[in-house]
Amino acid sequence: MDLRDQWNRLLPHAQPLGEDLLARYAEQHRHYHDQRHLAEVLTTIDELADAADDADTVRLAAWFHDAIYDPQADPGENEEVSAQLAELELAAYGVDGDRVAEVGRLVRLTAKHDCEPDDANGAVLCDADLRILGMPAERYDEYAEGIRQEYAHIGDREFARGRMSFLRGLAETRLYATARGHDQWEQAARDNVAREIESWGPRAARPIGGLIPIVYLGAALGAVVAASVLLGRGLGAAPKWPADPDQVTGFPVWAPIAGTALSTGLACAWFRRGRPRLVAIPALAFAVIGLVAVGLCWWRWPAAQPGAAMSERWPYLLLASVALVLAGAFLALARRLRLAPAYAQAPPRLLSLSMTVVCATLLAWITVSAGEPFVQARLETANTVSTTTTTTPEQQPVQLDGALAWSREVPASGAIAGTAGGVAELRPDGVVMSDANTGQIRWRYSRADVDDAADSGSEGLLVSSDGRTLAAHLPYGGTRAPSGIDLPTYAVLDAVSGQVLTEVHTDGKALAVDANHLLVAEDNYVVAHGVSGPTHWRTQLRCNVTQGELMGEQAVVVDACGGNGAAARALDLKNGDQRWEVDLGDRFDLSAELDPAAWVGDLVAVPATREVSGLIWTGAAGGTLYQWAVDAGEGRIIWTTPVPGTPRPRLGSASCDAQLAATNASLVLVTCRNATDPGQPQTYDVSAVSPADGTPQWHHLLEVPPKLQQPTYPRDGFGLLPDGRVVTLMPQANGNCSPVMIGTTGIRPRPILAGPTAESVARSEEVTCNKPAVTVAGARPVFSDGTRLFALN
C-alpha cells in the first residue's frame, strides 16, 4: 500500500491535506526526512500497533512529525511548528478535539523522544522514529549520509561535534521504549551508533583524544587521595605549639584509607557502562565542601602570639581543602570531555585503567610533596617576628674609667656578642640587639616555635670579622619538630639593621659567617650556603670538620680523625675546590684515643693579615696544648709554640673550652689548667703572643673560684678589648662582683663606679657573678650576670 492509500484510509475526506503533506516530504533539501522515512515510520507503527492505545492517532502523528523540517532551525522548533500545523489542519477537517490534542502532543514528543513509562502511544511513535538506528548497516549508513547532506551548511568539525554529542546522549540511555523494540532492535542500534561515532574524527587522534578525559579523571582521583593524606597530617598535629603529648594524636590511618576507597568508588562509577554521569554529583560536592573548608581555614587561621606557635595543622588543612576543590574541578572537566565528540571514543579498558592509576599516583605524590614547602613557608611566616631599624648605632667616645654606662634587667639569656650594630643577646626564642652606648633595644628577631636557642651557649652566635653580619642558632628540636618540615635552624641577620638575610636548615654546626656565606660543618662535609647570593656548594673531606674561618675568597677549615690525622685546608668559596692543605699530624703527636672534637681547639683569623691561628692538644709529655699559625695565602705553617703549664681543654670534669681571640697585635688565649681538689679554686692561664712568630708578650695566672668553674667560662666569660687587654667578671674578697682587667700590667680588679643617676648606683650594687658573660661592642665592655645586662666606660 502506497502512502496515498495509507492517508486515504486514515482521513478519506482530507485528500488535499494528504497531498500537501506528501509534497512537504518531497522537498529538495530533504535527504533523509523524506517520504522513505515516513514510509518506514508508518511500517514500524504497524508492527507495534498492539502496543499503542490508539494506533491510528499515532499514524496521524507520524504523518505530521516532520511535516515542517528546516535543518537551520533551533532545536525543537521544527517539532513545535509541525505540531501547530497538525492542530490547525486537523481541526479544519473536523477531527475530534481530543484526538487533535493527542496528535500535537505526540509530534512534540519526537523532539527529545523522552516519553513517560505509561505513555503507550508516545512509546510507539518514538520507537518508530528511531527505528532507523536499528536498521541494517547499509540502510543506517544511507541515513547517516542523508543527515550529513541536510546539514551541509555546517562544517565537518562542528557537525561532528554536534552529531557525536547527540549519538553519545542516545548511547547512554535506553533507545527503545517498547518491549519488542528493545528486544529486537536495541543491540543493532547500539552497534550502528558506535560505528558512526568511530567514523567521525581523525583516526590518528582517537586514541589520544579518548585518553584525555582519563588523564583528568586520574588527576581528580589523585587529588582526592592527596586531600585525604593532607587531612590526616593536619588532624594528627596539635592546634598550636607548645602542646601537651595528649594533643598530638599522630597520623590517623583512616584518612588515606577513606580517600583511597572513595577514589576507587569513583573509578568504578566512571568505567561502568553508561554510568559516567554519576560523577557529576561528587564533583559538585567536592567543590562545595572544599570551598567551604578553605573559607573556614582562612577564618580560623591563628594569629601569631608570643609563646604560642602555629603548628602545621592549619596549613595542612588548608592544603587539603584546596586539593578537594581541585578534585571537583578535575572530575567535572573529565566528565565534560567524556561527553564531547572529540574525546568520546573510549580507549581499551586496560589502557584506561593503567593511565588512571598512573595519573592518580603521580598527582597525589606531587601534591603531598609540594605541600611540605608550602607548610614550611607558612610556619616560618606565621611564627617569625622580626623588626628592623634604619638608624645607625650612636658613636660615643669610651673612656674606660669603669663607670656604669647603662644597666638593664633582661630575661634569662644565653650568649652575648659584640657587633657593629651593638650587643646581640641570644634569647630562648631568638635574638635581641641593643645599642652598646645606651642599652636601648634596636631590633628583635624571634621565632615562636623555638624555645631553647639560649642553650646553644656562645656557639649559638656567630659574628663576621667586620661585625656587620650575625648568624644565630635557632634549633627546632624535640617533639616540637613536625614530620617532613625543615624549618630554619640558623638565621643570618644584618647586625646593624636587623634585616633577615637568609634562613638555613641544617643538622650541622655553623663555623663562620660573612655577608656572602654561611659556612657549615656536617660531619666530614663542608657546606657553604649563600647569604647575599645563590652560592651553594658541598665538599667532602677525609675527616670530620671541627673548625672553620672565612678569609677573603677562601674558607680555611680543620678536619681531624682519630689515629693522628688532622689537616688545615683552604677551600675556594666559589666552588669548594681545595686550594692548599697543611698536614698537622706531621707536626704534632696527636692523640689516637680521643675524639677529634676534644683536642682540636679554636681557629681565628688575625685581622688585616693572611694569618690564621689555631689550637691543638697532643699527648706528648703527659699532654701539651699547642698554638699554631698558618699563612692562608701560601698554605704553610708559620710557627708553632707550646702553651705554658698543662692546660687540658675538654678533658675530664674540670675541663674548659679554651678561647683564642685575636687583635692586630696579639693572639690572646684563655684556658684552664688541671684542677686540684674538687671545690678548690682553679688556675687559669691568660696569655698573649705575637701573631708574627708566636713569641710571648705577657702571661698571667688567674685563680678562678669553684662557682665559675664551668667548661664554657673561658669562652663566654672573657672579652678582648681593642688594645689587647682581657676583661672578665669575677667575685672579689669583699664579696662584690666586679670587672677584672688582665694585660701587660697584670691582673687588676676594676670596681664598678656609680653612674650619673641614683638608679645606676643601686643597680651597680646588685651585680652578681652567678653566670657571667662578657663581650666587647663599640670598644665598650658589656657584661651579663644571667639576670642583668650592663656596660661600663
Q: Strand pairing partners for 257?
A: none
Tell me the percentage of the chain whose pLDDT exceeds 70.
86
> Which tens digit of pLDDT belongs to each residue from 701-730?
888 888 777 777 888 888 888 888 898 888
pLDDT of residue 624: 79
Burial class (CB within 10 angstroms; exposed 0-12, middle 13-18, buried 19+) of 652? exposed
> Which tens digit of pLDDT belongs to each residue from 174-198?
888 898 988 999 899 888 888 887 7
Least trusted range by pLDDT, from 9-23, 309-323, 335-349: 335-349
At 701 the three-state DSSP class reads strand
**pLDDT interval class at 348 (50, 70, 90):** confident
Phi and psi at residue 113, in whole multiples of 5°? Answer: 55, 40
At 225 the three-state DSSP class reads helix
pLDDT of residue 396: 63
Higher pLDDT, 644 or 269: 269
The set of residues, in sequence order, having a beta carbon less than 8 Å from that of 68 and lying 6+ positions away, is 24, 78, 81, 82, 85
Least trusted range by pLDDT, from 57-66, 270-279, 470-479, 516-525: 270-279
End-to-end CA distance of the chain: 127
> Which tens digit of pLDDT belongs to each residue from 663-674?
888 999 988 876
The structural domains of the chain, with segments of one domain joined by +, span 3-200, 205-385, 406-505, 643-793
Q: Is 200 left (phi over 0), alpha (psi -120 to 50) or beta?
A: beta
> Which tens digit of pLDDT belongs to each residue from 254-307?
888 999 999 988 888 887 754 556 678 888 889 999 999 999 888 877 776 666
Distance CA 550, CA 666 (A): 20
pLDDT of residue 677: 60
Distance CA 618, CA 628 (A): 12
Distances (CA, A) of 299 to 174, 302, 378, 735: 49, 9, 16, 59
DSSP 403: B
Residue 762 has pLDDT above 50, yes or no: no
- The closest alpha carbon to 320, from 286, 283, 344, belongs to 286
Phi and psi at residue 749, in whole multiples of 5°? Answer: -65, 145
- CA 250-252-258 angle, to 5 degrees, is 170
Establish whether domains 3-200 and 406-505 are of one fold. no
Average pLDDT estimate for 495-503:
92
- CA 512-556-420 angle, to 5 degrees, is 35
Least trusted range by pLDDT, from 51-60, 547-556, 581-590: 581-590
pLDDT of residue 630: 94
Q: Strand pairing partners for 686?
A: 670, 700
Burial class (CB within 10 angstroms; exposed 0-12, middle 13-18, buried 19+) of 477? exposed
**pLDDT interval class at 200 (50, 70, 90):** low
Q: Strand pairing partners for 701?
A: 685
pLDDT of residue 395: 67
Cell numbers at 299, concatenated? 577564618
Q: Is 498 left (phi over 0), alpha (psi -120 to 50) or beta?
A: left
Least trusted range by pLDDT, from 366-380, 386-400, 628-642, 737-751: 386-400
- CA 292-296-298 angle, to 5 degrees, is 115
Residue 645 has pLDDT above 80, yes or no: no
DSSP states of 594-615: S-HHHHEEEEEEPTTSSEEEEE
- The closest alpha carbon to 780, from 425, 461, 348, 400, belongs to 400
Tell me the percentage of the chain whose pLDDT exceeds 90.
27
Average pLDDT estimate for 510-534:
91
Distances (CA, A) of 246 to 236, 238, 311, 450: 11, 9, 15, 20
**pLDDT interval class at 204 (50, 70, 90):** very low
Q: Hey, which CATH number is domain 406-505, 2.40.10.480, 1.10.540.10, 3.40.190.10, 2.170.190.11?
A: 2.40.10.480
Average confidence score pLDDT of the chain: 83
pTM of the model: 0.68
- The closest alpha carbon to 449, from 417, 398, 488, belongs to 488
Q: Indicate the helix (H) or strand (E) that contains 625.
A: strand 624-631
pLDDT of residue 68: 93
> Which tens digit of pLDDT belongs to each residue from 218-247?
999 999 999 999 998 888 887 776 666 666
Average pLDDT estimate for 628-641:
91
Q: Does domain 3-200 have CATH number 1.10.1300.10?
A: yes
At 164 the three-state DSSP class reads helix
pLDDT of residue 516: 92
Cβ atoms < 10 Å from Cβ of 562: 15
- The closest alpha carbon to 715, from 675, 658, 673, 770, belongs to 658
Distance CA 543, CA 454 (A): 29
- The closest alpha carbon to 151, from 33, 26, 37, 23, belongs to 33
Select the highest-mean-pLDDT range: 563-572, 633-642, 781-790: 633-642
Q: Is 455 left (phi over 0), alpha (psi -120 to 50) or beta?
A: alpha
Average pLDDT estimate for 577-598:
76
The set of residues, in sequence order, having a beta carbon less than 8 Å from that of 750 and lying 6+ positions away, is 402, 738, 739, 740, 741, 792
pLDDT of residue 758: 38
Give the sheet arrangement for strand 517-522, strand by strand. Answer: 509-513, 517-522, 525-530, 536-540
At 530 the three-state DSSP class reads strand
pLDDT of residue 760: 46
**pLDDT interval class at 649 (50, 70, 90):** low
- The closest alpha carbon to 626, from 612, 644, 642, 639, belongs to 642
Cis peptide before 242 (omega within 30 of 0): yes
Distance CA 412, CA 773 (A): 12
Residue 454 has pLDDT above 70, yes or no: yes
- The closest alpha carbon to 312, from 265, 255, 374, belongs to 374
Is residue 756 within 8 A of residue 767, CB to CB? The reply is: no
